[in-house]
Amino acid sequence: MLLITIDNALIIMIIVIFVTLILIFLTGNHKKLYIVREFYSLGTNNQLKVYGKKATKAIEESIKKVCEIDNKMSVFKEESELSKISINAGNKPQIVSNDTYYVIQKAIKYCALSKGAFDITIKPIVALWSIGKEGQQIPSSNEIKEKLKIINYKDVVIDENDKSIFLKKKEQEIDVGGIAKGYAADKVKNVMIKNGIKSALINLGGNILALGTKIDGTPWSVGIQDPFNTRGEFVLTIGVINKSVVTSGNYERYFEVKGKRFHHIINPSTGYPSESDILGATIISDNSIDGDGLSTGVYIMGVEKAIKLIEEIEGVEAILITKSREIYVTSGMEGKFTITSQDFVYKNGI
Ligand code: AMP
Ligand code: MG
């Protein structure tokens, strides 16, 4: 007869607990091991979802880096490098940090590629509208006409040698709000990698950068917002591994007057919110700075020019959602997304 002693019972109990813990881990109940942190910076809400032994340290360092970028590049902080460039406009060059120099130099590249649809000297017009801020208003057409005279990214002079930025005309100002979040996301990714993190989802105000896969080995699923619906309602989803997914949309920041929406993406050739056929422009790329710089310009360019431009750029793809509820994608995206809303029609080719 087999006698179970107290000692044996204890050992069996320990084995049962151990096996149960292994089963819980293998069946995916370890999701809670992601550390999720939300914080406000860059004028928006951000979220970091991180898995790994050094997740907490990586998050702390990331937040520090994002706030540092905000302090350098915010147009709302008097001491920021961006503000100093504007104060010295038409007068003298301003020496800036490597971070700011890199962002402005990249931004100018996207201003040129988009033929001025993306224009970082748009700030005086953005300030007239003040969309999403106290005092938001429809400016008079005269005010817009006046300010349009000084909007021209070709007046930004950059000097690689002393890392300085100079604006040729007085009253010109730079706004990197259309590209800085992407840069910050790339920097956060570097901090994660430095800390040995292999799985993280970086979300800076809707700028998504997926690091690795989810811990169960599957791709991260990113939803593309339905511009006609409440936040969190998607047109489609895409699965991504080590990719940036950035969307510029008319629903991000806006106000309405008599049912007409005035949003924050300004067409530099009119001075008014962009009225192209696009309501949501998503760029999928390796680096988020590229996705961010391109998404804003592409939104303004409209479907035809946008698809043409993105097809020419190696390793970059686009998903465009239009006013007439159509979905256009670049060739590299075909078959790589799942439409989740019946309200939209997929258009194969332009
Ligand atoms: P995003 O959300 O990346 O599309 O960027 C929108 C932000 O970029 C706005 O809030 C403005 O600060 C700025 N912006 C608006 N219109 C333009 C434009 N045509 N070119 C460059 N930046 C712009
Ligand atoms: Mg952008």
At residue 276, the pLDDT reads 94
For ligand 1, say whether the CB of 173 is within 6 Å of any of its atoms. no
For ligand 1, say whether the CB of 66 is within 6 Å of any of its atoms. no
Distance 339 CA to ligand 1 centre (A): 27
Q: 197 by DSSP, 3-state: which?
A: coil
For ligand 1, say whether the CB of 268 is within 6 Å of any of its atoms. yes
For ligand 1, say whether the CB of 317 is within 6 Å of any of its atoms. no
Among 233, 120, 96, which residue's Cα sits nearest to residue 177?
A: 120
Q: Which two tokens stand for residue 53?
A: 């032994």
Distance 119 CA to ligand 1 centre (A): 8
Is the separation of the CB atoms in 173 and 153 below 8 Å? Answer: no
Q: Is pLDDT of 267 > 50?
A: yes
Distance 166 CA to ligand 2 centre (A): 23
Q: Which two tokens stand for residue 308?
A: 């043409």
Q: Is pLDDT of 31 > 70?
A: no
pLDDT bucket at 1, cuts 50 / 70 / 90: very low
For ligand 1, say whether the CB of 59 is within 6 Å of any of its atoms. no
For ligand 1, say whether the CB of 220 is within 6 Å of any of its atoms. no
pLDDT bucket at 348, cuts 50 / 70 / 90: confident
At residue 32, the pLDDT reads 56
Domains of the chain: 35-69+178-346 (3.10.520.10), 76-167 (1.10.3980.10)
Mean pLDDT confidence for 28-33: 56
Q: What share of the chain is helix, strand, coil (3-state, %, to 5)?
A: 35, 25, 35
Least confident of 48-57, 247-256, 274-283: 247-256
Distance 178 CA to ligand 2 centre (A): 4
pTM, entire model: 0.90
Please give the Cα distance from 221 to 204 (Å, whole number): 16
pLDDT bucket at 22, cuts 50 / 70 / 90: low
Distance 340 CA to ligand 2 centre (A): 24
Is the separation of the CB atoms in 297 and 108 below 8 Å? Answer: no
Which atom of ligand 1 sits closest to the CA of residue 252? Answer: 2
Mean pLDDT confidence for 209-237: 96
Which atom of ligand 1 sits closest to the CA of residue 120? Answer: 21
